[in-house]
Amino acid sequence: MIGYFWPIILVVASNVFYQIAAKSVPKRIDPFASLTVTYLIGAIVSFILYYVFNKNGNIASEYEKLNWAPFILGICIIGLEVGFIYAYKVGWQVSTASIMQSAFLSIILIFIGYMFFKEQITFNKIIGVIICIIGLVFINK
């Protein structure tokens, strides 16, 4: 059972610290300059963890398996991070920015899942979308 939940626990815990850190980036620094440090640290930690989890690993042979996705993911991550940093710089509260984007993201991904991944749009998902929209109204009051 823990094998099923640990990735979500990791995402939630990481996202809590991510939001705190993004909110704490000094307003006087350019977000892109800040992200150069962020990604340098991320690259170093990823490199180390690759070898921690793959004692006899060969990272060069792993790179031969790359497709387009990691490159697009890198661009998307920049958009996510800069978006949150700018949102906090212009006054979004840490308690609402993430909820707002998550609600809109969830609504959009229901349709993306249906159109591109053959996932079903169920009555429960439609009710969930309605609840998300109602929640957004209450969060912003």
Burial of 125 (0-12, 13-18, 19+ CB in 10 A): middle
Whether 52 is in a domain gets the answer yes
C-alpha separations of 141 from 6, 118, 137 in Å: 34, 36, 7
pLDDT at 44 over 90: yes
What pLDDT shows up at residue 140?
76
Task: Give the confidence band of 30 by pLDDT, cuts at 50, 70, 90.
Answer: very high
Whether 5 is in a domain gets the answer no
The residue segments making up the domain with residue 46 are: 27-92
pLDDT at 95 over 90: no
Shared domain for 98 and 41, answered yes or no, is no
pLDDT at 33 over 90: yes
Whether 3 is in a domain gets the answer no
Whether 7 is in a domain gets the answer no
What pLDDT shows up at residue 77?
94
Shared domain for 86 and 115, answered yes or no, is no
Burial of 77 (0-12, 13-18, 19+ CB in 10 A): middle
pLDDT at 141 over 80: no
**Radius of gyration (Cα) for the chain, nearest Å?**
18
